[in-house]
Structure 1
Protein backbone atom coordinates (compact mmCIF):
# COMPACT_ATOMS: atom_id res chain seq x y z
CA UNK A 1 0.00 0.00 0.00
CA UNK A 2 1.37 3.42 -0.98
CA UNK A 3 2.49 5.72 1.82
CA UNK A 4 0.87 9.12 2.29
CA UNK A 5 3.15 12.17 2.36
CA UNK A 6 1.96 15.67 3.27
CA UNK A 7 4.19 18.59 2.23
CA UNK A 8 3.40 21.80 4.08
CA UNK A 9 4.38 25.23 2.79
CA UNK A 10 3.08 28.79 2.92
CA UNK A 11 3.38 30.17 -0.60
CA UNK A 12 2.18 29.58 -4.13
CA UNK A 13 3.67 26.51 -5.75
CA UNK A 14 4.67 28.64 -8.75
CA UNK A 15 6.83 30.71 -6.40
CA UNK A 16 8.48 27.76 -4.70
CA UNK A 17 10.03 25.38 -7.26
CA UNK A 18 11.74 23.43 -4.48
CA UNK A 19 8.38 22.19 -3.17
CA UNK A 20 7.15 21.41 -6.69
CA UNK A 21 10.24 19.34 -7.53
CA UNK A 22 10.05 17.48 -4.23
CA UNK A 23 6.35 16.69 -4.58
CA UNK A 24 6.68 15.60 -8.22
CA UNK A 25 9.64 13.32 -7.53
CA UNK A 26 7.81 11.61 -4.66
CA UNK A 27 4.55 11.25 -6.60
CA UNK A 28 6.38 9.85 -9.62
CA UNK A 29 7.84 7.18 -7.35
CA UNK A 30 4.51 5.88 -6.14
CA UNK A 31 3.79 7.92 -3.02
CA UNK A 32 0.42 9.55 -2.39
CA UNK A 33 1.49 13.19 -2.16
CA UNK A 34 -0.51 16.16 -0.94
CA UNK A 35 0.63 19.78 -0.69
CA UNK A 36 -0.95 22.01 1.94
CA UNK A 37 -0.20 25.70 1.48
CA UNK A 38 -1.43 29.32 1.52
CA UNK A 39 -2.31 31.45 -1.50
CA UNK A 40 -3.20 35.07 -2.17
CA UNK A 41 -3.44 35.60 -5.94
CA UNK A 42 -5.79 33.96 -8.44
CA UNK A 43 -3.42 34.25 -11.42
CA UNK A 44 -0.68 32.53 -9.43
CA UNK A 45 -3.16 29.91 -8.25
CA UNK A 46 -4.07 29.10 -11.86
CA UNK A 47 -0.36 28.82 -12.60
CA UNK A 48 -0.02 26.45 -9.64
CA UNK A 49 -2.78 24.24 -11.06
CA UNK A 50 -1.18 24.28 -14.50
CA UNK A 51 2.13 23.11 -13.01
CA UNK A 52 0.31 20.21 -11.33
CA UNK A 53 -1.65 19.24 -14.44
CA UNK A 54 -1.06 15.60 -15.31
CA UNK A 55 0.27 14.69 -11.84
CA UNK A 56 -1.45 12.79 -9.04
CA UNK A 57 -0.56 15.45 -6.46
CA UNK A 58 -3.41 16.69 -4.27
CA UNK A 59 -3.31 20.48 -3.79
CA UNK A 60 -4.91 21.77 -0.58
CA UNK A 61 -5.21 25.25 0.95
CA UNK A 62 -5.23 26.27 4.60
CA UNK A 63 -5.31 30.01 3.79
CA UNK A 64 -6.93 31.65 0.77
CA UNK A 65 -6.66 35.43 0.56
CA UNK A 66 -7.78 35.83 -3.05
CA UNK A 67 -11.16 37.27 -2.09
CA UNK A 68 -12.29 39.78 0.50
CA UNK A 69 -14.51 37.90 2.92
CA UNK A 70 -14.85 37.30 6.64
CA UNK A 71 -12.17 34.59 6.72
CA UNK A 72 -9.56 36.57 4.75
CA UNK A 73 -10.24 39.79 6.68
CA UNK A 74 -9.88 37.90 9.97
CA UNK A 75 -6.61 36.27 8.88
CA UNK A 76 -5.12 39.56 7.72
CA UNK A 77 -6.18 41.31 10.92
CA UNK A 78 -4.72 38.63 13.20
CA UNK A 79 -1.37 38.79 11.43
CA UNK A 80 -1.34 42.59 11.46
CA UNK A 81 -2.03 42.60 15.22
CA UNK A 82 0.68 39.97 15.80
CA UNK A 83 3.28 42.03 13.90
CA UNK A 84 2.21 45.20 15.77
CA UNK A 85 2.60 43.44 19.13
CA UNK A 86 6.00 42.12 18.11
CA UNK A 87 7.22 45.52 16.97
CA UNK A 88 6.10 47.51 19.98
CA UNK A 89 5.81 44.97 22.83
CA UNK A 90 8.49 42.48 21.69
CA UNK A 91 6.06 39.57 22.16
CA UNK A 92 6.61 36.82 19.60
CA UNK A 93 3.93 34.53 18.20
CA UNK A 94 3.74 32.24 15.17
CA UNK A 95 1.06 34.50 13.66
CA UNK A 96 3.88 36.94 12.84
CA UNK A 97 5.14 34.45 10.28
CA UNK A 98 2.08 33.87 8.14
CA UNK A 99 -1.67 33.82 7.76
CA UNK A 100 -4.06 31.48 9.60
CA UNK A 101 -1.33 29.97 11.74
CA UNK A 102 -3.76 28.45 14.24
CA UNK A 103 -5.97 27.17 11.45
CA UNK A 104 -2.95 25.41 9.96
CA UNK A 105 -2.12 23.80 13.30
CA UNK A 106 -5.71 22.63 13.72
CA UNK A 107 -5.70 21.21 10.20
CA UNK A 108 -2.45 19.31 10.81
CA UNK A 109 -3.56 18.04 14.22
CA UNK A 110 -6.47 16.14 12.69
CA UNK A 111 -4.58 15.08 9.56
CA UNK A 112 -3.13 11.63 8.99
CA UNK A 113 -0.01 11.06 6.94
CA UNK A 114 2.88 8.64 7.09
CA UNK A 115 5.35 11.50 6.67
CA UNK A 116 5.09 15.29 7.00
CA UNK A 117 7.67 17.50 5.28
CA UNK A 118 7.71 21.07 6.56
CA UNK A 119 8.87 23.96 4.35
CA UNK A 120 9.30 27.63 5.27
CA UNK A 121 8.96 29.31 8.64
CA UNK A 122 5.33 28.83 9.67
CA UNK A 123 5.22 25.13 8.84
CA UNK A 124 8.54 24.67 10.65
CA UNK A 125 7.11 26.29 13.81
CA UNK A 126 3.98 24.15 13.80
CA UNK A 127 5.89 21.01 12.87
CA UNK A 128 8.21 21.61 15.81
CA UNK A 129 5.21 21.94 18.12
CA UNK A 130 3.83 18.64 16.81
CA UNK A 131 7.01 16.68 17.52
CA UNK A 132 5.76 15.84 21.01
CA UNK A 133 3.42 13.37 19.31
CA UNK A 134 5.75 10.42 18.93
CA UNK A 135 3.47 8.70 16.42
CA UNK A 136 4.15 11.29 13.72
CA UNK A 137 7.13 11.33 11.43
CA UNK A 138 7.92 14.99 10.79
CA UNK A 139 10.76 16.13 8.55
CA UNK A 140 12.01 19.66 7.87
CA UNK A 141 13.46 21.25 4.78
CA UNK A 142 15.33 24.34 5.94
CA UNK A 143 15.33 26.33 2.71
CA UNK A 144 17.00 29.37 4.29
CA UNK A 145 18.58 30.27 7.59
CA UNK A 146 15.28 31.66 8.86
CA UNK A 147 16.57 33.45 11.95
CA UNK A 148 19.30 35.16 9.90
CA UNK A 149 17.39 35.88 6.70
CA UNK A 150 16.60 39.60 6.68
CA UNK A 151 18.43 42.90 6.58
CA UNK A 152 18.77 44.66 9.97
CA UNK A 153 15.95 47.15 9.38
CA UNK A 154 13.45 44.34 8.70
CA UNK A 155 14.41 42.15 11.67
CA UNK A 156 12.23 44.11 14.10
CA UNK A 157 9.23 42.54 12.36
CA UNK A 158 10.59 39.00 12.78
CA UNK A 159 10.22 36.74 15.84
CA UNK A 160 13.93 35.97 15.97
CA UNK A 161 13.90 34.09 19.30
CA UNK A 162 11.06 31.89 18.13
CA UNK A 163 12.84 31.14 14.85
CA UNK A 164 16.05 30.18 16.64
CA UNK A 165 14.09 27.93 18.97
CA UNK A 166 12.32 26.06 16.19
CA UNK A 167 15.49 25.76 14.12
CA UNK A 168 17.12 24.03 17.07
CA UNK A 169 14.14 21.74 17.66
CA UNK A 170 13.77 20.74 14.04
CA UNK A 171 17.49 20.06 13.60
CA UNK A 172 17.68 17.94 16.74
CA UNK A 173 14.32 16.15 16.72
CA UNK A 174 13.03 16.00 13.15
CA UNK A 175 12.89 12.56 11.53
CA UNK A 176 15.27 14.19 9.08
CA UNK A 177 16.39 17.67 8.07
CA UNK A 178 17.56 18.87 4.68
CA UNK A 179 18.94 22.17 3.46
CA UNK A 180 20.36 23.89 0.38
CA UNK A 181 24.18 23.86 0.62
CA UNK A 182 27.05 22.25 2.48
CA UNK A 183 28.03 25.70 3.71
CA UNK A 184 24.64 26.22 5.37
CA UNK A 185 24.47 22.64 6.64
CA UNK A 186 27.84 22.97 8.36
CA UNK A 187 27.01 26.41 9.78
CA UNK A 188 23.71 25.17 11.23
CA UNK A 189 25.53 22.19 12.76
CA UNK A 190 28.10 24.54 14.30
CA UNK A 191 25.52 26.98 15.71
CA UNK A 192 23.05 24.39 17.04
CA UNK A 193 25.53 21.64 17.98
CA UNK A 194 23.77 19.05 15.87
CA UNK A 195 24.38 16.67 12.99
CA UNK A 196 24.56 18.54 9.66
CA UNK A 197 21.31 18.29 7.70
CA UNK A 198 21.35 16.47 4.36
CA UNK A 199 22.16 18.75 1.44
CA UNK A 200 19.70 18.79 -1.46
CA UNK A 201 20.73 21.56 -3.83
CA UNK A 202 18.22 23.94 -5.45
CA UNK A 203 18.92 22.40 -8.83
CA UNK A 204 16.75 21.73 -11.88
CA UNK A 205 16.31 18.91 -14.41
CA UNK A 206 18.87 18.61 -17.19
CA UNK A 207 17.85 20.12 -20.51
CA UNK A 208 20.16 19.29 -23.39
CA UNK A 209 18.18 21.64 -25.61
CA UNK A 210 19.98 24.57 -23.98
CA UNK A 211 23.36 22.84 -23.84
CA UNK A 212 23.34 22.07 -27.56
CA UNK A 213 22.32 25.57 -28.56
CA UNK A 214 24.91 27.35 -30.70
CA UNK A 215 25.65 30.74 -29.17
CA UNK A 216 28.04 33.38 -30.38
CA UNK A 217 29.50 36.03 -28.11
CA UNK A 218 28.47 39.35 -29.60
CA UNK A 219 28.56 42.83 -28.16
CA UNK A 220 26.99 44.38 -26.29
CA UNK A 221 26.84 41.45 -23.90
CA UNK A 222 23.41 40.80 -22.38
CA UNK A 223 23.76 40.32 -18.62
CA UNK A 224 20.70 38.87 -16.86
CA UNK A 225 19.44 38.90 -13.26
CA UNK A 226 16.05 37.79 -11.98
CA UNK A 227 14.04 37.39 -8.82
CA UNK A 228 10.42 37.73 -7.76
CA UNK A 229 11.30 41.25 -6.60
CA UNK A 230 13.96 43.62 -7.91
CA UNK A 231 14.96 45.56 -4.80
CA UNK A 232 17.62 46.74 -2.41
CA UNK A 233 20.08 44.50 -0.63
CA UNK A 234 20.65 42.11 -3.54
CA UNK A 235 23.97 43.46 -4.82
CA UNK A 236 22.56 45.04 -7.99
CA UNK A 237 23.55 48.61 -7.12
CA UNK A 238 27.17 47.65 -6.38
CA UNK A 239 27.45 45.73 -9.63
CA UNK A 240 26.14 48.66 -11.65
CA UNK A 241 28.73 50.96 -10.10
CA UNK A 242 31.40 48.42 -11.01
CA UNK A 243 30.44 48.00 -14.68
CA UNK A 244 30.22 51.77 -15.12
CA UNK A 245 34.03 51.68 -15.28
CA UNK A 246 34.26 49.33 -18.24
CA UNK A 247 34.85 50.86 -21.67
CA UNK A 248 32.75 48.28 -23.50
CA UNK A 249 28.99 48.69 -23.64
CA UNK A 250 26.81 46.10 -21.91
CA UNK A 251 23.09 45.52 -21.54
CA UNK A 252 21.72 44.86 -18.07
CA UNK A 253 18.44 42.91 -18.06
CA UNK A 254 16.45 42.63 -14.83
CA UNK A 255 13.36 40.44 -14.47
CA UNK A 256 10.96 40.78 -11.55
CA UNK A 257 8.53 43.11 -9.84
CA UNK A 258 10.14 46.50 -9.27
CA UNK A 259 8.89 49.74 -7.78
CA UNK A 260 9.09 52.90 -9.86
CA UNK A 261 11.31 54.47 -7.19
CA UNK A 262 13.89 51.67 -7.28
CA UNK A 263 13.73 51.51 -11.07
CA UNK A 264 14.63 55.20 -11.23
CA UNK A 265 17.39 54.70 -8.64
CA UNK A 266 19.05 52.05 -10.79
CA UNK A 267 18.70 54.09 -13.97
CA UNK A 268 20.33 57.06 -12.28
CA UNK A 269 23.28 54.93 -11.15
CA UNK A 270 23.92 53.32 -14.55
CA UNK A 271 26.30 55.06 -16.94
CA UNK A 272 24.64 56.35 -20.11
CA UNK A 273 26.91 54.24 -22.29
CA UNK A 274 25.15 51.11 -21.00
CA UNK A 275 21.50 50.11 -21.40
CA UNK A 276 19.11 48.71 -18.81
CA UNK A 277 15.95 46.72 -19.54
CA UNK A 278 13.23 45.62 -17.14
CA UNK A 279 11.27 42.44 -17.85
CA UNK A 280 7.92 41.29 -16.47
CA UNK A 281 7.84 38.00 -14.58
CA UNK A 282 7.14 34.90 -16.66
CA UNK A 283 5.51 31.56 -15.94
CA UNK A 284 7.72 29.11 -14.08
CA UNK A 285 7.79 26.70 -17.03
CA UNK A 286 8.89 29.52 -19.36
CA UNK A 287 11.73 30.82 -17.22
CA UNK A 288 14.52 28.53 -18.48
CA UNK A 289 13.85 29.48 -22.11
CA UNK A 290 13.86 33.15 -21.13
CA UNK A 291 17.18 32.83 -19.29
CA UNK A 292 18.81 31.03 -22.22
CA UNK A 293 18.25 34.03 -24.48
CA UNK A 294 20.90 36.04 -22.60
CA UNK A 295 24.69 35.77 -22.49
CA UNK A 296 25.67 35.73 -18.82
CA UNK A 297 23.72 35.16 -15.61
CA UNK A 298 24.26 37.36 -12.56
CA UNK A 299 24.29 35.61 -9.16
CA UNK A 300 24.82 38.73 -7.08
CA UNK A 301 24.55 38.21 -3.34
CA UNK A 302 25.70 40.12 -0.30
CA UNK A 303 27.16 38.46 2.77
CA UNK A 304 24.58 40.22 4.94
CA UNK A 305 22.20 38.82 6.09
CA UNK A 306 24.10 35.61 6.91
CA UNK A 307 21.49 33.44 5.17
CA UNK A 308 22.53 35.00 1.85
CA UNK A 309 26.14 34.20 2.59
CA UNK A 310 25.58 30.48 3.20
CA UNK A 311 22.80 29.50 0.79
CA UNK A 312 22.99 28.93 -2.94
CA UNK A 313 19.90 30.36 -4.60
CA UNK A 314 17.65 28.90 -7.29
CA UNK A 315 18.92 31.41 -9.82
CA UNK A 316 22.50 30.15 -9.63
CA UNK A 317 21.46 26.67 -10.71
CA UNK A 318 18.87 27.91 -13.20
CA UNK A 319 21.66 29.74 -15.03
CA UNK A 320 23.66 26.50 -15.22
CA UNK A 321 20.73 24.49 -16.54
CA UNK A 322 20.00 27.18 -19.12
CA UNK A 323 23.59 26.99 -20.38
CA UNK A 324 24.80 30.38 -19.12
CA UNK A 325 28.17 31.24 -17.62
CA UNK A 326 27.80 33.11 -14.34
CA UNK A 327 29.14 36.26 -12.75
CA UNK A 328 28.81 35.47 -9.05
CA UNK A 329 29.56 37.28 -5.83
CA UNK A 330 31.99 35.61 -3.46
CA UNK A 331 29.86 34.09 -0.72
CA UNK A 332 30.56 30.98 1.32
CA UNK A 333 27.71 29.18 -0.42
CA UNK A 334 28.64 30.10 -3.99
CA UNK A 335 32.31 29.32 -3.32
CA UNK A 336 31.15 25.72 -2.92
CA UNK A 337 30.49 25.45 -6.67
CA UNK A 338 33.03 27.94 -8.02
CA UNK A 339 36.11 26.58 -6.27
CA UNK A 340 36.25 23.45 -8.41
CA UNK A 341 34.24 24.13 -11.55
CA UNK A 342 34.66 27.88 -12.19
CA UNK A 343 31.56 28.30 -14.40
CA UNK A 344 32.27 32.00 -14.92
CA UNK A 345 33.86 34.82 -12.95
CA UNK A 346 33.59 35.30 -9.21
CA UNK A 347 33.77 38.79 -7.75
CA UNK A 348 34.73 39.83 -4.23
CA UNK A 349 32.20 41.87 -2.29
CA UNK A 350 34.50 44.87 -2.70
CA UNK A 351 36.83 44.13 -5.61
CA UNK A 352 40.08 46.11 -5.67
CA UNK A 353 41.56 47.66 -8.80
CA UNK A 354 43.53 44.53 -9.75
CA UNK A 355 40.47 42.28 -9.51
CA UNK A 356 38.33 44.82 -11.35
CA UNK A 357 40.77 44.92 -14.24
CA UNK A 358 40.89 41.11 -14.39
CA UNK A 359 37.11 41.05 -14.47
CA UNK A 360 36.92 43.55 -17.33
CA UNK A 361 39.53 41.57 -19.27
CA UNK A 362 37.42 38.44 -18.83
CA UNK A 363 34.20 40.25 -19.74
CA UNK A 364 35.75 41.50 -22.99
CA UNK A 365 37.30 38.18 -23.98
CA UNK A 366 34.89 36.02 -26.07
CA UNK A 367 37.19 32.99 -25.81
CA UNK A 368 37.09 33.12 -22.00
CA UNK A 369 33.31 33.51 -21.96
CA UNK A 370 32.83 30.55 -24.31
CA UNK A 371 35.15 28.46 -22.11
CA UNK A 372 33.16 29.51 -19.03
CA UNK A 373 29.96 28.47 -20.77
CA UNK A 374 31.40 25.03 -21.38
CA UNK A 375 32.37 24.76 -17.71
CA UNK A 376 28.85 25.87 -16.74
CA UNK A 377 27.38 23.11 -18.90
CA UNK A 378 29.77 20.62 -17.27
CA UNK A 379 28.66 21.86 -13.85
CA UNK A 380 25.03 21.32 -14.87
CA UNK A 381 25.82 17.65 -15.48
CA UNK A 382 26.90 17.39 -11.84
CA UNK A 383 24.35 19.66 -10.19
CA UNK A 384 20.93 18.63 -11.49
CA UNK A 385 17.64 17.29 -10.19
CA UNK A 386 18.19 13.84 -11.68
CA UNK A 387 21.02 13.40 -9.15
CA UNK A 388 19.65 15.39 -6.22
CA UNK A 389 16.20 13.76 -6.34
CA UNK A 390 17.83 10.38 -5.63
CA UNK A 391 19.09 11.74 -2.31
CA UNK A 392 15.54 12.76 -1.41
CA UNK A 393 13.99 9.46 -2.50
CA UNK A 394 16.56 7.38 -0.61
CA UNK A 395 16.06 9.46 2.52
CA UNK A 396 12.26 9.25 2.41
CA UNK A 397 12.37 5.50 1.74
CA UNK A 398 14.67 5.00 4.71
CA UNK A 399 12.59 6.96 7.25
CA UNK A 400 9.32 5.38 6.12
CA UNK A 401 10.78 1.91 6.57
CA UNK A 402 12.01 2.62 10.10
Structure 2
Protein backbone atom coordinates (compact mmCIF):
# COMPACT_ATOMS: atom_id res chain seq x y z
CA UNK A 1 0.00 0.00 0.00
CA UNK A 2 1.21 3.48 -0.72
CA UNK A 3 0.36 7.00 0.39
CA UNK A 4 2.34 9.65 -1.55
CA UNK A 5 1.64 12.80 0.36
CA UNK A 6 2.68 15.19 3.05
CA UNK A 7 3.34 12.84 5.95
CA UNK A 8 1.94 13.80 9.34
CA UNK A 9 -1.06 13.99 11.64
CA UNK A 10 -4.51 14.66 10.24
CA UNK A 11 -3.77 12.98 6.89
CA UNK A 12 -5.54 9.65 7.53
CA UNK A 13 -2.51 7.86 8.93
CA UNK A 14 -4.11 7.59 12.37
CA UNK A 15 -6.93 5.52 10.89
CA UNK A 16 -4.43 3.34 9.01
CA UNK A 17 -2.34 2.67 12.10
CA UNK A 18 -5.45 1.82 14.14
CA UNK A 19 -6.50 -0.62 11.38
CA UNK A 20 -3.20 -2.53 11.29
CA UNK A 21 -3.82 -4.70 14.40
CA UNK A 22 -7.13 -5.78 12.82
CA UNK A 23 -5.40 -7.23 9.75
CA UNK A 24 -4.83 -10.98 9.68
CA UNK A 25 -2.39 -10.85 6.77
CA UNK A 26 0.88 -8.92 6.66
CA UNK A 27 1.12 -6.00 4.29
CA UNK A 28 3.80 -3.42 3.65
CA UNK A 29 3.05 0.26 4.18
CA UNK A 30 4.98 2.66 1.94
CA UNK A 31 4.79 6.37 2.65
CA UNK A 32 6.32 8.81 0.21
CA UNK A 33 6.79 12.44 1.12
CA UNK A 34 8.54 14.91 3.32
CA UNK A 35 9.09 13.66 6.83
CA UNK A 36 10.72 15.83 9.48
CA UNK A 37 12.37 14.41 12.60
CA UNK A 38 9.31 15.48 14.60
CA UNK A 39 7.06 13.60 12.17
CA UNK A 40 9.26 10.50 12.38
CA UNK A 41 8.90 10.61 16.16
CA UNK A 42 5.13 11.00 15.81
CA UNK A 43 5.04 7.98 13.45
CA UNK A 44 6.98 5.89 15.96
CA UNK A 45 4.39 6.66 18.62
CA UNK A 46 1.50 5.78 16.29
CA UNK A 47 2.47 2.54 14.58
CA UNK A 48 2.08 -0.72 16.50
CA UNK A 49 5.45 -2.23 17.47
CA UNK A 50 5.09 -5.43 15.45
CA UNK A 51 4.30 -3.40 12.30
CA UNK A 52 7.36 -1.14 12.39
CA UNK A 53 9.44 -3.43 10.18
CA UNK A 54 6.72 -3.21 7.52
CA UNK A 55 6.63 0.60 7.36
CA UNK A 56 8.84 2.14 4.70
CA UNK A 57 9.43 5.88 4.36
CA UNK A 58 10.49 7.09 0.93
CA UNK A 59 11.66 10.57 0.00
CA UNK A 60 9.89 12.66 -2.59
CA UNK A 61 10.93 12.11 -6.20
CA UNK A 62 10.73 14.37 -9.26
CA UNK A 63 7.24 14.50 -10.77
CA UNK A 64 8.28 12.55 -13.85
CA UNK A 65 9.39 9.62 -11.63
CA UNK A 66 6.35 9.56 -9.37
CA UNK A 67 3.99 7.52 -11.62
CA UNK A 68 6.53 4.68 -11.86
CA UNK A 69 7.14 4.73 -8.10
CA UNK A 70 3.38 4.61 -7.37
CA UNK A 71 2.88 1.77 -9.87
CA UNK A 72 5.26 -0.42 -7.83
CA UNK A 73 2.41 -0.99 -5.36
CA UNK A 74 -1.00 -2.70 -5.40
CA UNK A 75 -3.30 -0.51 -3.29
CA UNK A 76 -3.40 3.27 -2.92
CA UNK A 77 -4.99 4.84 0.14
CA UNK A 78 -6.83 8.17 -0.08
CA UNK A 79 -7.91 8.55 3.54
CA UNK A 80 -9.17 12.11 3.40
CA UNK A 81 -11.15 13.65 6.24
CA UNK A 82 -14.47 15.46 5.66
CA UNK A 83 -13.30 18.53 7.60
CA UNK A 84 -12.64 21.29 6.78
CA UNK A 85 -15.52 21.46 4.28
CA UNK A 86 -13.14 22.28 1.43
CA UNK A 87 -11.34 18.96 2.02
CA UNK A 88 -14.68 17.14 1.80
CA UNK A 89 -15.47 18.64 -1.61
CA UNK A 90 -12.11 18.21 -3.32
CA UNK A 91 -10.44 15.24 -4.94
CA UNK A 92 -6.77 15.04 -4.11
CA UNK A 93 -4.14 14.53 -6.79
CA UNK A 94 -3.08 11.23 -5.27
CA UNK A 95 -6.43 9.64 -6.16
CA UNK A 96 -5.89 10.53 -9.82
CA UNK A 97 -2.27 9.36 -9.57
CA UNK A 98 -3.46 5.99 -8.27
CA UNK A 99 -5.85 5.66 -11.21
CA UNK A 100 -3.11 6.52 -13.69
CA UNK A 101 -0.72 4.03 -12.03
CA UNK A 102 -3.35 1.28 -12.10
CA UNK A 103 -3.67 0.79 -8.35
CA UNK A 104 -6.72 -0.51 -6.54
CA UNK A 105 -7.96 2.36 -4.36
CA UNK A 106 -9.36 2.50 -0.86
CA UNK A 107 -10.76 5.97 -0.28
CA UNK A 108 -12.80 7.62 2.41
CA UNK A 109 -16.35 8.60 1.55
CA UNK A 110 -16.00 12.33 1.05
CA UNK A 111 -18.16 14.21 -1.44
CA UNK A 112 -15.26 14.62 -3.88
CA UNK A 113 -14.06 11.04 -3.74
CA UNK A 114 -17.63 9.73 -3.91
CA UNK A 115 -17.95 11.52 -7.26
CA UNK A 116 -14.98 9.57 -8.62
CA UNK A 117 -16.38 6.27 -7.34
CA UNK A 118 -19.77 7.05 -8.90
CA UNK A 119 -18.04 7.30 -12.28
CA UNK A 120 -15.58 4.45 -11.63
CA UNK A 121 -17.18 2.16 -9.02
CA UNK A 122 -14.96 -0.88 -9.61
CA UNK A 123 -11.59 0.74 -8.86
CA UNK A 124 -11.66 -0.23 -5.20
CA UNK A 125 -13.57 0.49 -2.02
CA UNK A 126 -15.16 3.60 -0.54
CA UNK A 127 -15.18 3.53 3.28
CA UNK A 128 -16.46 5.84 6.02
CA UNK A 129 -13.89 8.37 7.29
CA UNK A 130 -12.05 7.55 10.51
CA UNK A 131 -13.18 3.93 10.54
CA UNK A 132 -10.24 1.58 11.21
CA UNK A 133 -12.51 -1.50 11.13
CA UNK A 134 -13.88 -0.62 7.68
CA UNK A 135 -10.36 0.12 6.41
CA UNK A 136 -9.09 -3.23 7.71
CA UNK A 137 -12.02 -5.01 6.06
CA UNK A 138 -11.41 -3.26 2.73
CA UNK A 139 -7.70 -4.12 2.79
CA UNK A 140 -8.44 -7.71 3.77
CA UNK A 141 -11.08 -8.10 1.05
CA UNK A 142 -8.61 -7.00 -1.61
CA UNK A 143 -5.57 -8.98 -0.45
CA UNK A 144 -7.52 -12.17 0.26
CA UNK A 145 -9.03 -12.15 -3.21
CA UNK A 146 -6.38 -11.79 -5.91
CA UNK A 147 -9.10 -11.73 -8.61
CA UNK A 148 -10.80 -8.78 -6.85
CA UNK A 149 -7.48 -6.95 -6.51
CA UNK A 150 -6.64 -7.57 -10.17
CA UNK A 151 -10.11 -6.45 -11.28
CA UNK A 152 -9.83 -3.22 -9.27
CA UNK A 153 -6.39 -2.50 -10.73
CA UNK A 154 -7.65 -3.14 -14.26
CA UNK A 155 -10.68 -0.91 -13.60
CA UNK A 156 -8.31 1.85 -12.45
CA UNK A 157 -6.28 1.56 -15.65
CA UNK A 158 -9.46 1.65 -17.73
CA UNK A 159 -10.77 4.65 -15.79
CA UNK A 160 -7.49 6.49 -16.30
CA UNK A 161 -7.69 5.94 -20.06
CA UNK A 162 -11.37 6.86 -20.41
CA UNK A 163 -11.52 9.69 -17.89
CA UNK A 164 -8.36 11.51 -18.96
CA UNK A 165 -8.43 15.29 -18.79
CA UNK A 166 -7.02 15.40 -22.31
CA UNK A 167 -10.16 13.72 -23.64
CA UNK A 168 -12.34 16.51 -22.31
CA UNK A 169 -9.85 19.28 -23.01
CA UNK A 170 -10.89 19.50 -26.66
CA UNK A 171 -14.26 20.81 -25.54
CA UNK A 172 -12.52 23.42 -23.39
CA UNK A 173 -10.26 24.81 -26.09
CA UNK A 174 -12.97 26.75 -27.94
CA UNK A 175 -14.05 28.30 -24.65
CA UNK A 176 -10.53 29.44 -23.85
CA UNK A 177 -9.70 30.58 -27.40
CA UNK A 178 -9.56 34.31 -28.04
CA UNK A 179 -12.93 35.84 -28.65
CA UNK A 180 -13.52 37.00 -32.22
CA UNK A 181 -13.46 40.73 -32.79
CA UNK A 182 -16.89 41.95 -33.90
CA UNK A 183 -16.97 43.32 -37.46
CA UNK A 184 -19.00 46.44 -36.97
CA UNK A 185 -18.31 50.13 -36.97
CA UNK A 186 -17.87 51.63 -33.55
CA UNK A 187 -20.57 53.96 -32.36
CA UNK A 188 -19.32 57.56 -32.20
CA UNK A 189 -20.82 59.95 -29.69
CA UNK A 190 -20.31 63.66 -30.29
CA UNK A 191 -18.60 65.55 -27.53
CA UNK A 192 -20.69 68.25 -25.88
CA UNK A 193 -19.93 71.82 -26.84
CA UNK A 194 -17.76 73.24 -24.05
CA UNK A 195 -17.87 76.93 -25.10
Give TM-score, length-normalised by structure 2: 0.82
Distance in 1 of aligned mates of 2:89 and 2:24: 33
For 2:11, what is the secondary structure of its paired residue? coil
Any residues of structure 2 matched to 1:156-305 within 5 Å, and which?
223-227=1-5, 229-274=6-51, 275-305=54-84
The CA deviation at 1:276 is: 0.7
Distance in 1 of aligned mates of 2:179 and 2:94: 32
- The corresponding residue for 2:115 is 336
Q: What is the total number of aligned residue pairs between the two structures?
A: 177
- The corresponding residue for 2:151 is 371
For 2:49, what is the secondary structure of its paired residue? coil
Distance in 2 of aligned mates of 1:270 and 1:367: 30
The CA deviation at 1:356 is: 5.3
For 1:257, what is the secondary structure of its paired residue? coil
Distance in 1 of aligned mates of 2:35 and 2:180: 47
**Contact 2:4–2:33 at 8 Å: present in 1 too?**
yes
- The corresponding residue for 1:208 is none
The CA deviation at 1:301 is: 0.5
The CA deviation at 1:320 is: 0.7
Question: Does the C-alpha gap of structure 1 residues 273 and 391 become closer, same or farther in structure 2, counting only changes over 3 Å?
Answer: farther
The gaps in structure 2 that reach 5 residues or longer are 182-195
The CA deviation at 1:285 is: 0.8
Which is higher, the Rg of structure 1 or of structure 2?
Answer: 2
Give TM-score, length-normalised by structure 1: 0.41
The gaps in structure 1 that reach 5 residues or longer are 1-222
Question: Does the C-alpha gap of structure 1 residues 259 and 356 become closer, same or farther in structure 2, counting only changes over 3 Å?
Answer: closer
The alignment yields a C-alpha RMSD, in angstroms, of: 2.0
| Bigger share in strand | 1
For 1:346, what is the secondary structure of its paired residue? strand
Distance in 2 of aligned mates of 1:243 and 1:391: 45
Range with greater deviation from structure 2 (374-383 or 326-335): 374-383
